[in-house]
Structure 1
Amino acid sequence: MAEKETMKYRLAEAVKALMETESLDKITVRDIVTAAQTTRQSFYRHFQDKYDLVNWYFERLAEKSFKLMGVQYTLREGLLKKFEFIRQEKTFFSQAFRSQDYNSLMRYDYQCILDFYTEWIERKTRRPLTPQIQFLLEMYCEGSMQMTVKWVTQGAKESPETIVDLLIDAQPEKLRAVLRDTELE
């Protein structure tokens, strides 16, 4: 792993450790660099703020799960990998999803899934989303994000399989038809 990536993961491990006992909104960059045994300069060389660090770490998850839907995984398989990872990193995600900051993971994840689905559908159908599908997609992404936050912050009691099946079942029929038509071929 390149030195730059190693430092980013070191900072991510530090913030994850701090989140075991403190909310993300109360953790400072000073706390993170102290835990990572590095400097503020090093932190700011890689990230704008602690939320940028958290969102970067989330992006690593997305690259291994969600963003492989339609390429390597079906919709269900990609979501299942995402929720298994969230469950493994329950403390991190529980704290990150509780943040109310404008740059919070909840906002970042919503935009990430909305952009992903939009690009996926447009690439597969070779046309822009209709206003109706755009509305349904935004509504679905917002609702699925809220249910993901609820699931993880309330202890992730249901299995990843159960929550994924519920999220798929909650798709509006017209959106489900478009997504079904764009699945792996």
Structure 2
Amino acid sequence: MPESHLTKNALSAAMKKLMDKYPMEKIKISDIVEQCGMNRQSFYYHFKDKYDLVNWIFYTEFIESIKSSLDKPPGELTEEICVFFYENRNFYSNALKVTGQNSFSDYFVEVLHPIIHSQLEEIIKDDPNHDFYATFFADAIRVSITRWLLEGAKMPPKKFAELLKIASTDVIYKLVKDSEKAE
């Protein structure tokens, strides 16, 4: 493993450990580097700020976690996403509490959008609005997962994913059928 990756992993582990104890907004770069025995220069060589570090953690762990499911049906992918967040709920609950510029919440949608876009392209490739739909579903999934985690993720991830699937397919199908009947 290249030294750069080892350094990033050490900074990542330090950030995760700190986020188990403290709110993200209270953690300083000095806390992160002290936790792993590095200096600030090492941190800034790899990351521009703590938000960049959290985003790197998400990207590397999330993509690794779901990459085998990218070619599966959307329902299975949604379940993988929910399981990932459930297994890492303390870290991501903390990260999702931060809003505004450079927030993890925005980055989550940035990563999720192209994944959903490619899934929808297979389903509704002839519809010129598929980019709008991908944005809609990425936002809906982000908001739903955020609420679920911040409320303590009391529902198991598979049940939560099933409800997301029902909301995004069955409910919409029923609304379309009902509107057709009304016409």
**TM-score, scaled relative to structure 2:** 0.82
Counterparts of residues 169-180 of structure 1 (less than 5 Å): 169-171=166-168
Q: Classify the secondary structure of the residue corresponding to 2:20.
A: coil
Give the drift of 1:15.
Answer: 0.9
What letter corresponds to residue 113 of structure 1 in structure 2? L
For 1:99, what is the secondary structure of its paired residue?
Answer: coil
Please state whether the residue corresponding to 1:20 is helix, strand or coil: helix
Name the structure 2 match of 1:116: 115
Point out the structure with max Rg over C-alpha.
Answer: 2
Aligned partners of 1:118 and 1:129 also within 8 Å: no
1:96-107 aligned at under 5 Å gives the runs: 96-107=95-106
1:165 match: 162
Kindly state the Cα deviation for residue 102 of structure 1 after the two structures are TM-superposed.
Answer: 1.3
After TM superposition, list the pairs within 5 Å mapping 1:33-182 onto structure 2: 33-71=33-71, 73-122=72-121, 124=122, 130-131=128-129, 133-171=130-168
Matched AA of 1:80: E
Cα shift at 1:40? 0.9
The answer to whether the 8 Å contact 2:83/2:157 transfers is yes
Could you say which residue in structure 1 is the equivalent of 2:177? none
Instruction: Give the CA deviation at 1:129.
Output: 5.5
Structure 2 CA distance for partners of 1:79 and 1:66, relative to 1, 3 Å: farther
Larger helix proportion of the pair: 2
Gaps of 5+ in 2: 174-183
2 CA distance for matches of 1:68 and 1:79? 13
Deviations, residues 64-97 of structure 1 (Å, cap 9, x unaligned): 23444343x4433333233222222221111001
Question: 1:127 deviation in Å?
Answer: 5.7
Asked if the contact 1:67/1:116 (under 8 Å) is kept, the reply is no
The 10-residue stretch of structure 1 (164-173 or 8-17) with the greater mean CA deviation from structure 2: 164-173
Distance change (3 Å), C-alpha of 1:88 and 1:14? same
Give distance in 1, aligned partners of 2:116 and 2:110: 10
1:91-131 CA distances to partner (integer Å, 9 max, x unpaired)? 11110010113111111111211122224444x47968612
Further displaced range: 74-83 or 32-41: 74-83
- 5+ residue gaps, structure 1: 177-185
Hey, what's the Cα distance between the residues in 2 that align with 1:65 and 1:58? Answer: 10
- Could you say if the C-alpha distance between residues 127 and 147 of structure 1 is closer, same or farther in structure 2, counting changes exceeding 3 Å? closer
What fraction of aligned residue pairs are identical, expressed as a percent?
A: 28
Structure-2 residue corresponding to 1:181: none
**Segments ≥4 residues shifted beyond 4 Å:** 124-129
Letter in 2 for 1:142: D
Count of equivalent residues: 173
Query: CA separation in 2, counterparts of 1:83 and 1:114?
Result: 16
